[in-house]
């Protein structure tokens, strides 16, 4: 994608007329009033889009970027997630951390319980890195609940498939960094703990769709990578000598078609009508940033989501799909706001594609983040200011210019001859430019403020205020009639939604909800 224009657009004539804003507000009011008739259908399908590190400032900046990529001012642009009718806030803290990490948060929004920082798919009774605290403290995820209900399930991520977010859907690990047995301490292996890649194929062996990165954790140590045969850092890591891809193939029934692909060309050649199981591992570790992606060899997040939906939609009982825009987080950690925001825009495109391919009548879609970052933008910038541009004034202390985007801490801290670096001497629009930070750190940190939850579809109105993060999967399960809380599904006279799908009566849902709350 091209970079935003370096000059901002003048205020549109229509915006000078009060009627424009009044009519816009009245149209929004009409849409809001239409929401008084709640969608209480059963959610045949559930899609969870997780923007890793996508705090509210990131959402706003991505909105502006999306508009500027289309040569607009940007502020007035509407993201796909902005169209969702219900919005809530999520409290992201871990049981032992005010500012959380992606593992404890993933356990919350996938398994429905808060957990300690660095742990996956286990309760807060588990201490990070202590294998012997795991047994008996495992907690299951909504992906497993959906699978138990006969639905198809899928995981799509731009990180490795055994990274924190996807791992909480299937693994139980005292440490998020146990990607393969190579990264585990000997005592953990001796005590019987399994690495996360191993658990991907063992715990829920019949996940229909798995796409992302992480090839090297699936192959024996020192196995050359198929795409980068001469790169030592991309060689296999497994100490147990197992080829997990072959093990995955062998677990599939003989009458089912299972495909493993490692590049976009192979993915796009597939006849999806003949695909029952798909494993796509497109990089040895994480996928390439969207800005750096090779359009011929690497699929975009949007393309992966489309493929996943076409496979999962074949199940008449519906599906659960977890989609992670995982490298938003990586861009921020590296202080590379341009990479982070383009990742967010691409995830928004994927949300739009899913919207086209599904119906709000029978599909609950939730978009949220696990946590925020210490990313901000400000400086009294005028309307349409390039999102990666300079603030309109210099600092009134050091008399130097500054970019609108800044970080509270991170690798962008620069002191030249005892003073803050003059950003006009560097290319601050470069994709890998590290925005200035107040505190020097090798890696920028997460932020601790609440993050947004956007929801549409059946029972989306249950996401409506300020919630604990672990509330999210309980709503999704309630809407889909899966998991433990299904009394409202078994009782009461069912009705048919306009699309002909089975739905419980609104009154019964209301009574069940009242019992649940009180």
Catalogue the active-site residues.
Answer: 102
Distances (CA, A) of 286 to 180, 277, 281: 15, 22, 9
The continuous run of DSSP H or E covering 408 comes out as strand 405-410
Token pair recorded at residue 170 = 């299937």
User: What is the rounded CA–CA span in Å between residue 184 and residue 195?
Assistant: 7
Helix axes 472-480, 102-111, angle to 10 degrees: 30
CA count, 13 A, side-chain hemisphere, 299: 28
- Annotated ligand binding at 464? The verdict is no
Three-class DSSP labels, 243-284: CHHHHHHHCCCCCCCEEEECCHHHHHHCCHHHCCEEEEECCC
User: What is the rounded CA–CA span in Å between residue 468 and residue 281?
Assistant: 33
Residues sharing a CB contact under 8 Å with residue 484, sequence separation 6 or more, in sequence order: 477
The continuous run of DSSP H or E covering 487 comes out as helix 487-490
The strand pair at 401-403 and 390-394 is best described as antiparallel
Nearest residue to 371 (alpha-carbon basis) of 97, 143, 157? 97
Token pair recorded at residue 26 = 């009245």
Token pair recorded at residue 509 = 């849902």
- Annotated ligand binding at 371? The verdict is yes
- Annotated ligand binding at 172? The verdict is no
Fill in the DSSP letter of residue 78.
Answer: -
- Annotated ligand binding at 28? The verdict is no
The number of residues in the chain equals: 518
Under 8 Å between Cβ of 76 and 348: no
Three-class DSSP labels, 321-380: EEEEECHHHHHHHCCCHHHHHHHHHHHHHHHHHHHHHCCCCCEEEEEEECCEECEEECCC
Under 8 Å between Cβ of 116 and 102: no
Residues sharing a CB contact under 8 Å with residue 370, sequence separation 6 or more, in sequence order: 50, 52, 53, 92, 100, 102, 105, 106, 109, 165, 451, 469
- Annotated ligand binding at 329? The verdict is yes
Residues sharing a CB contact under 8 Å with residue 38, sequence separation 6 or more, in sequence order: 461, 506
- The binding site for Mg(2+) consists of 52, 163, 165, 324
Q: Summarize the annotated binding site for Zn(2+) as residue ranges.
A: 52, 329, 333, 370-371, 446
């Amino acid at each position: 994608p091209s970079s935003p224009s370096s000059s901002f657009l003048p205020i549109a004539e229509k915006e000078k007329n009060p009627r424009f804003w009044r009519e816009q507000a009245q149209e929004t009011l009409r849409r809001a009033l239409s929401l008084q008739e709640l969608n209480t259908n059963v959610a045949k399908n559930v899609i969870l889009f997780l923007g890793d590190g996508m705090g509210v400032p990131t959402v706003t900046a991505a909105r502006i970027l999306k508009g500027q990529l289309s040569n607009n001012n940007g502020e007035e642009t509407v993201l796909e997630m902005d169209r969702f009718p219900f919005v809530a806030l999520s409290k992201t803290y871990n049981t032992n951390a005010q500012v959380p990490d992606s593992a404890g948060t993933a356990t919350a929004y996938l398994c429905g319980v808060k957990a300690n920082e660095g742990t996956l798919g286990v309760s807060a009774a588990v201490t990070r890195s202590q294998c012997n605290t795991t047994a008996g403290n495992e907690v299951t995820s909504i992906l497993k609940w959906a699978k138990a209900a006969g639905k198809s399930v899928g995981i799509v991520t731009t990180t490795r498939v055994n990274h924190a977010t996807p791992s909480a859907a299937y693994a139980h690990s005292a440490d998020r960094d146990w990607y393969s047995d190579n990264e585990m301490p000997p005592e953990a292996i001796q005590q019987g703990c399994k690495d996360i890649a191993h658990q991907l194929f063992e715990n829920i062996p019949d996940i229909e769709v798995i796409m992302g990165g992480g090839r090297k954790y699936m192959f024996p140590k020192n196995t050359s990578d198929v795409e980068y045969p001469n790169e030592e850092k991309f060689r296999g890591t497994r100490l147990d000598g197992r080829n997990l891809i072959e093990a995955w193939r062998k677990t599939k029934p003989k009458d089912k078609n299972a495909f493993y692909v490692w590049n976009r060309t192979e993915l796009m050649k597939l006849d999806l009508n003949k695909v029952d199981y798909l494993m796509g591992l497109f990089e040895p570790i994480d996928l390439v940033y969207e800005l750096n992606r090779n359009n011929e060899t690497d699929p975009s997040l949007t393309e992966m989501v489309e493929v996943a939906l076409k496979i999962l939609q074949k199940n008449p009982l519906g599906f659960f799909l977890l989609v992670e825009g995982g490298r938003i987080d990586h861009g921020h950690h590296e202080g590379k706001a341009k990479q982070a925001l383009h990742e967010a825009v691409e995830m928004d495109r994927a949300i739009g594609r899913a919207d086209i391919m599904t119906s709000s009548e029978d599909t609950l879609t939730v978009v949220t983040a696990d946590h925020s970052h210490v990313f901000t933008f400000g400086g009294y910038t005028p309307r349409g200011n390039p999102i990666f541009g300079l603030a309109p004034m210099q600092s009134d202390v050091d008399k130097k210019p500054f970019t609108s985007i800044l970080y509270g801490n991170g690798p962008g801290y620069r002191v030249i001859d005892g003073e803050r670096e003059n950003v006009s001497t560097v290319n601050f629009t470069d994709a890998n430019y590290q925005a200035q930070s107040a505190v020097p750190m090798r890696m920028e940190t997460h932020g601790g403020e609440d993050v947004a939850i956007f929801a549409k579809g059946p029972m989306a109105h249950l996401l409506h205020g300020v919630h604990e993060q672990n509330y999210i999967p309980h709503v999704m399960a309630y809407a889909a009639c899966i998991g433990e809380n299904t009394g409202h599904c078994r009782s009461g006279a069912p009705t048919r939604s306009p699309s002909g799908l089975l739905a419980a009566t609104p009154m019964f849902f209301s009574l069940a909800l009242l019992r649940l709350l009180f």
